[in-house]
Amino acid sequence: MKLNFETKVLLIFVAVLTFGLSMINVVSFLFYKLSLQQNIQEKAQLVYLLSKSNKGYKIPKYFLITDKLTFNNKYELVYFNQLDNKYVFLSRSYLNKKLINFAQLLILWDFVLIVSLMSILYFTIGRYLKKEMEVKKYLETVLLAVSHKLGNFLSIQKVNLEIIENKCNIPALKRLMSAFDVIEKDFKFTTDILKKINAYKEDKVEVRIDKIIEEIINNFSTILKTKILILRLKPSVLRTNYDDLKNLLYILIENAVLHSDKKIYIKMCGDKKFIYIFIKNDINTDFKGGSGIGLEIAKFLADRNNIKLITRAKNNFLVVLKIKK
């Protein structure tokens, strides 16, 4: 059974707090025991002197004064007067009762402290998570609303382009339709990501990375007809989050396809510990750069799944993914 975030935090907090209080309690208990023994010795000496000077003095029940040194499990020696050769013994049950009462008091206050701090921490974390969830739902609603309006706009424009295409056979119109198809696929892909925001889970499954790359490349088949694509893939199985890996690869491959001039190179290799994915493309100088949001999302997805992402831009743009098996 998997524990949620707040439960894990509470358990770790309780474990650390309990360990810390236990160490403090051990020191406090030993210090109290030492202080109690010193106090009893001083009290035993005082009781003996009072009993000697005042014959009518009533000796406490937990003390025993005798002139013989005896060994008894019920008593322990706490004071010896050499002049009178008298021994003062203390009842072990009295000492044990004092120590047990102190230990019970420590445990009681520890319990109250732990429960109080747990309650404060639980409600603090709960309030924070609730606020975060509200912000997340609000942003999701805004994004879905915008995507819905944009989807309607794209649908209308596609109908208009199809009507024009039926009446006019213009090469530029065909290129426009091809570009429109790419935008529509990209829009559907982004919409699917938004719909999965609340359904995100950290479940890991076995996936074929090479199959995912081939599936993504098929989405850009129209654009790739005018470019050179070099693929060097090999069957590679990895246990990871499928949606995150697919979204990460889609963003990087899309970036390579759209920003390339003519050549795109994708290679997979690996060793016993890691799988490496290289995505390289030449740079189209006529293409105006984007906002960089796609690459930031890719870095976020990579960090979340402990994937190292390296980029280098010189004559070509290179992205390297280092994935632990």
Residue 141: inside a domain, yes or no? no
Residue 97: inside a domain, yes or no? yes
Provide the phi-psi class of 292: left if phi over 0, else alpha when psi is between -120 and 50, else beta. Answer: left
- Say yes or no: 306 and 207 in one domain: yes
Q: Are 240 and 267 in contact (CB under 8 A)?
A: no
Q: Are 28 and 52 in contact (CB under 8 A)?
A: no
Q: Which of 70, 97, 128 is the last residue of a domain?
A: 128
Residue 260: inside a domain, yes or no? yes
Cβ contacts of 183 within 8 Å, gap of 6 or more: 154
Residue 140: inside a domain, yes or no? no
Return the bridge partners of 296, or none: none
pLDDT of residue 321: 94
Residue 181: inside a domain, yes or no? no
- Say yes or no: 105 and 209 in one domain: no
pLDDT in tens, 256-284: 888 888 899 999 998 888 999 999 998 87
- Say yes or no: 223 and 313 in one domain: yes
Task: Tally the domains of the chain.
Answer: 2
Residue 188: inside a domain, yes or no? no
Under DSSP, is residue 2 helix (H, G, I), strand (E, B) or coil? coil
Q: How far apart are CA 317 and CA 245, in angstroms?
A: 21
- Say yes or no: 208 and 294 in one domain: yes
Q: Which of 95, 128, 161 is the last residue of a domain?
A: 128
Mean pLDDT by 10 residues, the chain (325 residues): 70 86 91 92 90 85 84 84 86 91 91 87 83 78 72 73 72 71 70 61 82 90 86 89 88 87 91 92 69 76 90 89 91
Q: Which of 94, 111, 128 is the last residue of a domain?
A: 128
pLDDT of residue 309: 94
Predicted TM-score (pTM) of this structure = 0.55
pLDDT of residue 288: 53
- Say yes or no: 20 and 117 in one domain: yes
pLDDT of residue 28: 92
Q: Are 154 and 184 in contact (CB under 8 A)?
A: yes
Residue 155: inside a domain, yes or no? no
DSSP 63-132: EEEESS----TTEEEEEEETTTTEEEEEEHHHHHHHHHHHHHHHHHHHHHHHHHHHHHHHHHHHHHHHHH
Query: Residue 287 is part of a domain; what is its CATH number?
Result: 3.30.565.10
Residue 32: inside a domain, yes or no? yes
Query: In 3D, which of 79, 75, 95 has the Cα closest to residue 87?
Result: 79
- Say yes or no: 215 and 113 in one domain: no
Q: Which domain holds residue 80?
A: 5-128
